[in-house]
Amino acid sequence: MLGNLKPQAPDKILALMGEFRADTRQGKIDLGVGVYKDPNGLTPVMRAVKAAEKQIWESQDSKSYTALVGEAEYRDAMADLVLGGTDKARLASAASVGGTGAIRNALELIRMGNPDAVIHVSDPTWPNHISILEFMGMRYETYPYFDNDTRGVDFEAMKAALSRVKAGDVVLLHGCCHNPTGANPLADQWAEIADMLEKTGAIPLIDLAYQGFGDGLDADAEPTRMIAQRLPEVLIAASCSKNFGIYRERAGILIALTESEKSRDLTQGALAFLNRQTFSFPPDHGARIVSTILRDEALRADWKAELEEVRRTMLGLRDQLAGELRDLTGSDRFDFLSRHRGMFSRLGASPEQVAKMKEEAAIYMVGDSRLNIAGLNRESVPVLARAIVEAGV
């Protein structure tokens, strides 16, 4: 049986990580893997996380199973963080194995509720969205999103495509810090997106993986909150990997807003069923770190302060890179880097130009020219800028 398995294509980002590790050149730069790195190239454990883990270690008296959908304290704290003051009377939720687990269970929930639903995803999107959809055999279509000339959102094309989505279909949206492009709709454009979803009867599935990495915790959640207030059914897959820096703890949550209390109860039961079928009980350590921080006033304040430092560091690197490129080229054509938000930007380089930067300057980025801004520091920014110009981008 096992000998009949078909070879699977390796994940491109993981393959790139392997190439980077094998490269013996001094000064090599990794802009591929999607994790935050401090100026020393480390992904640090946040101060509040260490303090929360100490509290847990000192007070926890059991390692028995958690609740099937995760502890209520975690789910309530995450609902508050994501939705703010949005009415939660119609809310169902379940802890998940990271944000990816939340996406997977959201798609399973959609398939249970409407097997004929088409999932509409942005072009481009996070590659794992497509990979999961294809593995599950779910129907999907792409809608235009990124303008390769302006390096911004092609909103007119996006709007035209979303206006044709059918009732009952699902539109997958990036709540903030679009991956892989870094380009995001403006506030008035988000309102138009909500208008179109209302008119068409499509259901939004919002992937909120980077809350706090763009314009701030509340600002980054504002589009999600607006859509949640306006539409009868909304699915939100949120991750704690980035904003709490607990990537390996796999803490996420799937939130579902429903039309009625009856629908809420049905949905909550379905979420419990999906957890049971997929992994039985969700992991607890990362979720408990998050709830400990969010319930403790001092820890929450320190976490928010450190998260703000992370956000401002990335904005500073964006501005520095845009400035270096402006000086080298005498042009403002790379100023989009300052306007993008989150860890990623799509540079607009060809695969050949990306390969040239890897071969000649030991700079590693994904073949579509997605670069991780957080992989830079003040010393490596000028190196990247020169490589971009020498590659002819």
The three-state (H, E, C) secondary structure of the chain, written as one string = CHHHCCCCCCCHHHHHHHHHHHCCCCCCEECCCCCCCCCCCCCCCCHHHHHHHHHHHHHCCCCCCCCCCCCHHHHHHHHHHHHCCCCCCCEEEEEEEHHHHHHHHHHHHHHHHCCCCCEEEEECCCHHHHHHHHHHCCCEEEEECEECCCCEECHHHHHHHHCCCCCCCEEEEECCCCCCCCCCCCHHHHHHHHHHHHHHCCEEEEEECCCCCCCCHHHHHHHHHHHHHHCCCEEEEEECCCCCCCHHHCEEEEEEECCCHHHHHHHHHHHHHHHHHHCCCCCCHHHHHHHHHHHCHHHHHHHHHHHHHHHHHHHHHHHHHHHHHHHHHCCCCCCHHHHCCCCEEECCCCHHHHHHHHHHHCEECCCCCEEEHHHCCCCHHHHHHHHHHHCCC
d(CA 18, CA 323): 31
209 counts as catalytic: yes
Q: In this model, does residue 86 exceed pLDDT 80?
A: no
**Considering 169, 207, 220, 284, which one is annotated as catalytic?**
207
CA distance 130 to 297: 40
Question: Which listed residue (126, 147, 284, 391) is catalytic?
Answer: 126
Which amino acid is located at 39 in the chain?
P
Q: What is the pLDDT of residue 145?
A: 97
The answer on pLDDT for 11 being more than 80 is no
pLDDT tens digit string along 315-333?
A: 999 999 999 999 999 999 9
Give me the catalytic one of 48, 94, 242, 374: 242
Residues facing residue 305 across a β-bridge: none
Average pLDDT score over residue span 216-232: 96
242 labelled catalytic: yes
For 332-351, the pLDDT digits (tens) are 999 999 999 999 999 989 99
Q: Judge whether 345 and 322 are in contact, CB under 8 Å.
A: no
How much is the pLDDT for 255?
Answer: 98
Q: Among candidates 73, 123, 144, 133, which has minimal Cα distance to 103?
A: 133
pLDDT tens across 298-317, in order? 999 999 999 999 999 999 99
Cα gap 227→263, rounded to integer Å: 18
CA 298 vs CA 21, 67, 143, 301, 305: distances in Å: 39, 27, 44, 5, 11
pLDDT-derived band at 15, boundaries 50, 70, 90: confident
Predicted pLDDT of residue 12: 78
* Percent of the chain predicted with pLDDT > 90: 88
Residue 277, pLDDT score:
95
The pLDDT-based confidence of 89 (bands split at 50, 70, 90) is confident
Residue range 384-391: average pLDDT?
95
- For residues 7 and 209, give the distance between their C-alpha atoms in angstroms, rounded to a whole number: 30
Tell me what pLDDT residue 353 has: 95
Say whether pLDDT at 154 is over 90: yes
| CA terminus-to-terminus distance, the chain | 48
The stretch 207-215 carries a mean pLDDT of 97
**CB contact at 8 A, 233 and 259:** yes
Burial 102-130 (b: 16+ CB within 10 A, else e): bbbbbbbbbeebeeebbbbbbbbbbbbbb
Confidence check: pLDDT of 201 > 90: yes
% of the chain with per-residue pLDDT over 70: 100
Can you tell me which residue has the tokens 């000028």? 382
**Could you say which of 95, 106, 117, 209 is catalytic?**
209
**pLDDT tops 80 at residue 177:** yes
Which band of pLDDT confidence, cut at 50, 70 and 90, is reported for residue 13?
Answer: confident
